[in-house]
Structure formats: structure tokens, C-alpha cells
Amino acid sequence: MLGWIRNNTDSPVVKIILGVLSLTFVFFFGSSALFGDRTEVVADVNGEAIRDVHILPLLQQQVRIQRQFNQGKEPDLERLRQQVLDSVIDQRLMVQAAKEEGFLVSDKELRRAILENPSFQDDEGKFDSALYKRFAGRAGSTYEKDLREQLLVEAMQDFIRRSARVSEAELKAAFEDESSKRDIEFVRVPTALFRDAVTLTDDEVSAWAGENEDAITDRFDRDFDSKYNEAKKVKASHILMKFSDDDTDEDKAEVTKLMEAVLAEVKADGADFEALARKYSEDGSASRGGDLGFFDEKRMVKPFSDTAFAMSPGDISELVETQFGLHIIKVIEVQEADVKTLADVKLDIARELLTDERAPELAEAYAKTLLPVLNGTLSGDEADALLADKSLTVQESGEFARKDRRIPKLGTSKDALTAAFNLAAVGDVTVEPIDVGNGFAILKLTSAQQADMAAFDAKKEELRGTLLRTKQTRAVQAFRDQVKADAKIKIAAGV
């Protein structure tokens, strides 16, 4: 194949431009000896081995990209390695599927793809064999095999895309979704407003806990680090004199001399640390008397934390140097680490979860009492008082279409969107409150614009293109998902 290309640089075939084929397949293949028998197997895909040499060059490529776009931050190698492995597995599955379905790529199609690739063309658009040889040499000895498989997958995906169809009924439904508009008034009743109104007896909580141990364990595991595994904390104040970036050793010595004098004042009998911090500190905390509040060991720079966490309440440090300057630290209070077990908090979690369960019932019930406010049977001071009791207001959404998939100011609730378009006439109000995820809402239709089907024909082909592209993408993804679901994939231990 390489010989044919070298010998036919000026042939008429070379001059025909039939399209552009990108080099993105290098991400998936592009490694010498990609399907060789050497090195460690990292995965098995339907009996076909994927080896570490398949992964390494692609991982290196992704590391270079990450470093280029995230300068100063080292990439997460484990995450990138997993992403590369997943990509290689997905591509191997598609190649296998294409072969099983009987797709073929002829030598002529392979030649055409190489000849038409702009990366292998000179400034006049002619195929340059030297460019091709240099690239093929870098990509490895399996370049043409890799490219053939890339074209094979593309052929299969094109076939899947061509199978997608858009019916007249789908076009009309899409036109109506785009052209029909609604505007509503609504009242949203957040569930959070009713958590404090939930009353639970100890017996109820205990009984519920006994029946829902798995839910309690899941919540404990979820919240362990944030709520039940509290690190040791120190409350401290400090006085800081800063070093400037351009300070010389002599400048720093002068700052040190000044701070030594301040330290002597701080340690004098009857000294007021807060007053001295306000007087001398160059930190933003000076206005608070140097108060830094509580902090864990990771929050402060290491020299500061090491000193503060080795002190006891009431202790005052010697001078502590950090990248910011010189500090004098006074420890006010120490909170020791507090690790709670599931047994310690089981009933607290049960109460929390049961409250989560009961609060929506109260919110929905209250939302029902607001239906008369929107349908007009309750107005004036009575309506205002009912809304004000929970600091609620009647809001107007503004115009929206079904295709928007959301109601302005209310959110992306599918149930609310459906309810809004099910209201038949201006002035109609939903019969029941609508669950919007974090609460309930009642809706009133204030304006409705129906789709003008006379304009359908002018819009139809544009809609067909949009819907067809969406269907094609979904069809390919559905095929890929099914292939993966049916596959036998084994990942080597430790990968």
C-alpha cells in the first residue's frame, strides 16, 4: 500500500477531493504494535486483549493536553488512565460489532481516505508522500490497519444514522412544541418551610428506625466526613507583620526586631492581646482583635498550624514565620476531634429522614389552601394574609414553549410543564398542587398562544433536519450502549 501511494503521487485519483478525514483516530489507535502479543494485558474485550502499550501513548497525549490547558496543575493520572482505557474498550467493541455485521472497507476506500487527508497535502492541495511517510512512521507500523478499522466503524455508524426516520406526526408535534406558548401565574410552596412544623414522638422515631436501617446506614455513610467525623479544631487570634515580596534580609531583620518588641508587650502582665492586635497587626483580622475563629489543621499554612495545634488554651507563641510574615499566636479554645459511630447518631438520622418524609405532606396540604387565591374565590386581605403567613408571593413566569423544557422562575419540572400545557383556557387553575421537586406549586394560565399550523409547511424541512440529527445521534449512542451491555469485559486487577 505504501509503495502504491509513493508511486502514484501525480495520478488523477490523487487530485480528486472527495472529503476530509480527521486524524482523531490517533486518540483511539495510533500506537505501534497496538494489537501485538507483548506486554501486560490490562483488559479483555470479548476475548480480545488490550495491553498496556495500547494505553500508554494515548495517556501521554492526554497528559500533554491537560498540562497545556491547565498550566500549573498536574493532571489526575488515574482518572485519565481510566478514561483512555474506557475509550479504547468502546472503540474495540465498535470494531468488533462492525465486523460481526459484515461491514467492509476496500483497499480503494482506504487509499482514498489517505490521499484526501489535508494533513498529507502540500500547499497546493496535492498529496505529499513525504508528509505521509513521516506521519505513518510516528503513528507506527499498524497505521493502515488502524485507519481501516476507523473507516469500518464510520461505515457502520453511517448506516445506523441512515436508518433514522422522522414521521409527519413527529414533525407536527415538534412544531406545536415550538410554536405553542404559555404564560402562567404560580405560587411555589417550598418543602423546607415545613420542616420545623413536623412533630415526631420518640416512639415514632424508634419504630421508623427499626424498619429503615438500610436508609439510615446510607445516610450515615454519605454524611460521615461532613457531620460525624469532626477533626480537631483550634480557635486562635494572631498578630501579623508582613514581609513584602521585595524585602531584603535587612528589611526582614527590621520586621523581626519590631515583632520581638510587640511580643514582649503581649507577654507582659495584664497585656490585652485583642487591643495589641488592633494596634499592630497588618492582617484583616486586626479589626476583630486578631480573631481567626475555629480552624482545622489543614486550613492554615503548615508552620502556623503546627504551632497552634501544639498549644493549649491561653498559650501565646514565640514568633512564627510563614510565607506571609511573622505571627504571634494566642490559642483561645481547643475542640478535640469528635468521631461518632452509627449507634451514636442512629436515632438522630432517623428523625432527620422521617422529617424529610413528613415535610412534603405539610407543604402539599398548605399549597391546597392556596388554590382559592389563584382561582379567585379568595381575595383581598384574606388572600394576602394566607400568602404572608409563609412569606409567599404570586409570581408570573413570562412566556415559554414546551420545547424550552422549563418554566421561567419555576424550573425544569416536567410535571409542571405538562400541567401548564394541559390548562385548557385562560384563567384555569391546576386542580391539585404540582410536585416540583423541592416543594409544590399551583398554576394559573394567564395567556395561551396556539401553534399556527398554516406556517407548518414553511418550517417543516428545518424541523426535519433538527429532529433527524437528534435521532441519528441517539440511534448511534443506543447501539453503542447495547453493544457494551452485551459485551464480556474483564478489567485486570489493579487497573
Q: What is the pLDDT of residue 71?
A: 72
Distances from the Cα of 112 to the Cα of 12, 141, 233, 276, angstroms: 12, 19, 68, 81
Average pLDDT over residues 199-206: 96
CA distance 444 to 370: 12
CA distance 354 to 363: 15
Q: What is the pLDDT of residue 48?
A: 92
Give the pLDDT band of residue 40 (cuts 50, 70, 90).
confident
Give the pLDDT band of residue 31 (cuts 50, 70, 90).
very low
CA distance 131 to 137: 10
Average pLDDT over residues 188-207: 95
**Is residue 4 exposed (0-12), middle (13-18) or buried (19+ Cβ within 10 Å)?**
exposed
- In contact, 329 and 301? CB cutoff 8 Å: no
Q: What is the pLDDT of residue 235?
A: 97
CA distance 42 to 89: 11
Tell me the pLDDT tens digit for each residue of 450-481.
Answer: 898 889 989 999 999 999 999 999 999 999 99
Grid coordinates representing 53 are 502499550
- Is it the case that residue 6 has pLDDT exceeding 60? no
> What own/partner pairs with CB < 8 Å and gap ≥ 24 does 132-138 have?
132/5, 133/2, 133/6, 136/2
Average pLDDT over residues 373-381: 91
Query: Given CA atoms 420, 421, 422, 423 in this order, what sign does their dihedral have?
Result: positive
- Is it the case that residue 440 has pLDDT exceeding 70? yes
If you average pLDDT over every residue of the chain, what do you get? 88
Cβ partners under 8 Å of residue 150, min gap 6: 25, 28, 29
- Is it the case that residue 46 has pLDDT exceeding 90? yes
Least confident of 1-5, 101-105, 277-281, 292-296: 1-5
- Is it the case that residue 304 has pLDDT exceeding 50? yes
Give the pLDDT band of residue 223 (cuts 50, 70, 90).
very high
Distances from the Cα of 180 to the Cα of 291, 427, 449, angstroms: 59, 17, 5
- In contact, 48 and 40? CB cutoff 8 Å: no
Tell me the pLDDT tens digit for each residue of 391-418.
Answer: 999 999 999 999 888 999 999 999 999 9
CA distance 89 to 81: 12
Tell me the pLDDT tens digit for each residue of 134-161.
Answer: 887 765 557 888 899 999 999 999 999 9
CA distance 136 to 127: 14
CA distance 171 to 174: 5
Q: Domains plus CATH for the chain? A: 2-163+486-491 (1.10.4030.10), 178-194+360-453 (3.10.50.40), 232-336 (3.10.50.40)
Q: In percent, how much of the chain has pLDDT > 90?
A: 68
Q: What is the pLDDT of residue 334?
A: 95
Give the pLDDT band of residue 24 (cuts 50, 70, 90).
very low
- Is it the case that residue 87 has pLDDT exceeding 80? yes
Distances from the Cα of 203 to the Cα of 67, 130, 173, 199, 350, angstroms: 58, 83, 54, 12, 11
Q: In percent, how much of the chain has pLDDT > 70?
A: 91
Q: What is the value of pTM for the model shown?
A: 0.57
Q: Which residue has the cell 424529610?
A: 356
Question: Which 3 state secondary structure label does DSSP give 204?
Answer: helix
Q: What is the pLDDT of residue 36?
A: 38
**Is residue 276 exposed (0-12), middle (13-18) or buried (19+ Cβ within 10 Å)?**
buried
Closest CA to 275 of 242, 311, 239, 249: 239
Least confident of 111-115, 245-249, 486-490: 245-249
Enumerate the β-bridge partners of residue 434: 441
Give the pLDDT band of residue 18 (cuts 50, 70, 90).
very low
- Is it the case that residue 67 has pLDDT exceeding 60? yes
CA distance 128 to 21: 16
